Structure 1
Amino acid sequence: MMPGFLVAYVRWVEGFNRRIGKVAMWSLYLLMGVLLWGAVARAAWAPQVWTDEMAQFLMVGYFMLGGAYALQQGSAVRMDLLYSGWSDRTRAAVDAVTILAIIFYLVVMLWGGTESLQYAIDTAERRRGLWRPYMWPIKAVMLLGLGMMLLQCTAFLIRDIAKLRGREI
């Protein structure tokens, strides 16, 4: 039996990532609106300097905030040559080992991202171009997305360990 706090952690993480992921899915409509506004403005009166960069920021937000939900739903690409033929316990064992590599990668990314966000805040970093938006908001969104993916990967690890112990969460 897995400790109750681990089961609660897995359920909380998956619920949180599911809710944020669904909100991120709806942000595509906002992205389409910005792109439509930019296209209409270019054709009708004058190009808007902010639409292209805002669309890029929205796309990054969509990608980063939806990443943990995509992982949760099994939307990630997996090499299925051998994996599909393995038993559930073998899959759990292999997943538990490989998820450690992903967790290490995400921790390194969070570390670097935190330093980058701190630099952006300290120096009031702006993107080059005509609009020149501040960079800290999108860097904060990227860090949130990385954190969500790290939480989801730890939830996967807990699920895999439970499966190896003969329990399902």
Structure 2
Amino acid sequence: MDQREQSDPVVSLAAATTSVDDAGARRVALQASALPPAWRRADRLLVRGTEAGLFAIGVMFTLMITLEVISRYVFSFSIYFVNAAARFLLVWFFLLGAGIALRHGAHVGFELLLSAMTPRRRKTVVLFGLALIVVFCLEMIWAGFHSLGPAMKQTEAGLDIPLAWAVLAIPLGFALLLYHASALLWIELFRDHPKGTRS
């Protein structure tokens, strides 16, 4: 980090964010390299497609909130559908992004504890955690689809569309999370780790 980055907190934050993003991208690429070739290509497409979708949702959310702030504080009126649309976008953003966050290692974890374990014990703990995620995802997918019927009968007043469009993010988001957890399970089970190193 140069002198300007040290003296400018905005530049420092941007540099730190870029570093974290690069580390996450390298982590995903390293994980994918342990997959079979055909799976690796499909995985790359899925990850890139999801990231593109998340970027689009983030841009739309930012534009909507910016427009609402300007209209409310400059022109003294509120755009009636923005709050409802922003809530829908946030639901989709977080549920679709959960799987990508798992691949980037962005979920809350106990890295310090894991790093102190032997490779075999660490692998056991990681596999157990991923198995719990898989079971939880299956339950949430079932619950999400089960909730679609009642949600079809309800309407989001601000957008005048069925509430099911928001509820649909639950089974789809957890299906993506299930895929990513399953991919990590496969990688942990079948990739070769150098003897005597912590994976």
**Pairwise TM-score range, normalised by the shorter structure:** 0.7 to 0.9
> Which of 31, 34, 50 does residue 61 from structure 2 map onto?
31
- Please list, as runs of the form range in 1=range in 2, the aligned pairs for 1:85-104 lying within 5 A after superposition: 85-104=116-135
Task: Output the TM-score relative to the length of structure 1.
Answer: 0.81
Give how far 1:96 is off: 1.2
Secondary structure in 1 matching 2:168 = helix
Identity %: 22
- On the 8 A contact 2:140/2:170 being kept in 1, the answer is no
Give how far 1:22 is off: 3.6
- On the 8 A contact 2:141/2:170 being kept in 1, the answer is no
Structure 1 portions without partners, runs of 5+: 1-5
- Matched residue, 1:47: 78
Change in 2 beyond 3 A, CA 1:115/1:28: same
In the alignment, is residue 63 of structure 1 matched against residue 94 of structure 2? yes
Task: Output the TM-score relative to the length of structure 2.
Answer: 0.70
Structure 2 portions without partners, runs of 5+: 1-34, 195-199
User: In structure 1, how many angstroms separate the alpha carbons of the residues matched to 2:57 and 2:146?
Assistant: 27
Give how far 1:167 is off: 6.3
Q: Deviations over 1:106-161 (max 9, x none)?
A: 1111100001113223x2x213x554442122222332111100011111111111
How many residue pairs match? The answer is 158
> Which of 152, 164, 168 does residue 136 from structure 1 map onto?
164
User: In structure 2, how many angstroms separate the alpha carbons of the residues matched to 1:9 and 1:88?
Assistant: 26
Give how far 1:84 is off: 1.0
Q: Deviations over 1:66-109 (max 9, x none)?
A: 11111111111111342012244432222111211111111111
Change in 2 beyond 3 A, CA 1:87/1:11: farther
User: In structure 2, how many angstroms separate the alpha carbons of the residues matched to 1:11 and 1:131?
Assistant: 38
